[in-house]
Amino acid sequence: MPIDHHGKAIADIVGLCFRKELAMIGPYLDSRFKQTKYLQSLNRVPGKELKASSYMNEGEGIFISSATFWSDLPKLTSKLFKESKSESENVVRILDIPYLHILGRAEHIALVDALSELNDTKVFQLESVRGILNFTWPLTRRAIVKRLLVPYILYALTYFFWALVVSYDRVEKDLHGQQQDSLMHYTDIAATLTVALFSLYFLVLELVQMENEGLSYLLSVWNAIDLAPPFIVFYLIYSTHFIHDDHDEKVIWNL
């Protein structure tokens, strides 16, 4: 029987155990930190010190990384340590429950969802929970910046340019019976398409969240606030470019 069968067998119910608030799940997780003779050889590595690229608490000197269960010693050493003139005492252990630290895995999602619903903050003092969350936080932060923050900033800037510059020019020209010059006309088209694409992007994100959360999504006011802007923008684009009055003239919506 494989030596790591136990961790694999329980990984998919850790989140459920936290959701059910089982008293022993926290101490049990912390008890799964193991140090083998193989890992004991890394307690002192001449001419090397631990990398501080990912840490739980730098003041405590507790550092986090990931590795396969059967990593060879040179590969593990190069992953955990860097060259140094000094030499430090280390305690290298492995949390022998896999998958909980991998973003996108069902086991990790179940764990994070369960933790987000807990009222007892003492859970977050557990070394195992802190280690998992602090290891995944840099990855989560990069994903948030890349997929949400940067697109949102570009979305806001494009929208304000479209609403306050392009649309204003179009309204002014229409009120005076003039046509937009070719440069502003194509700028108007480009800005409108860009705003529409950003709106579609955020609408898709909300629809994915709605699919994941089910009917509970509709019960949140914050979700409604997130869902409304794309539809409002689509209506504004439609009203300014496609609605006509009885004289077959475009209706101008001065925003």
- By the 8 A CB rule, do 206 and 227 touch? yes
CA neighbor of 105 nearest in space, from 144, 69, 71, 132? 132
CA neighbor of 18 nearest in space, from 158, 115, 159? 115
- Type of residue found at 144: I
Which DSSP string corresponds to 189-244? HHHHHHHHHHHHHHHHHHHHHHHHHGGGGGG-HHHHHHHHHHHHHHHHHHHHHT-B
Q: How far apart are CA 67 and CA 71, in angstroms?
A: 7
pTM of the model: 0.65
Sign of CA dihedral 69, 73, 78, 81: positive
One digit per residue, pLDDT tens: the chain, 255 residues? 445 556 777 888 899 999 888 888 888 888 888 887 777 777 777 777 777 654 445 545 556 666 665 567 777 777 777 777 776 677 778 888 888 888 888 898 899 988 988 888 888 888 888 888 888 887 888 888 999 999 999 999 999 999 888 888 877 787 777 777 888 888 988 999 999 999 999 999 999 888 877 888 888 888 889 999 999 999 988 887 775 444 444 444 433
Residue 181 has phi, psi (to 5 degrees) of -70, 165
Residue 47 has phi, psi (to 5 degrees) of 70, 20
- By the 8 A CB rule, do 18 and 108 touch? no
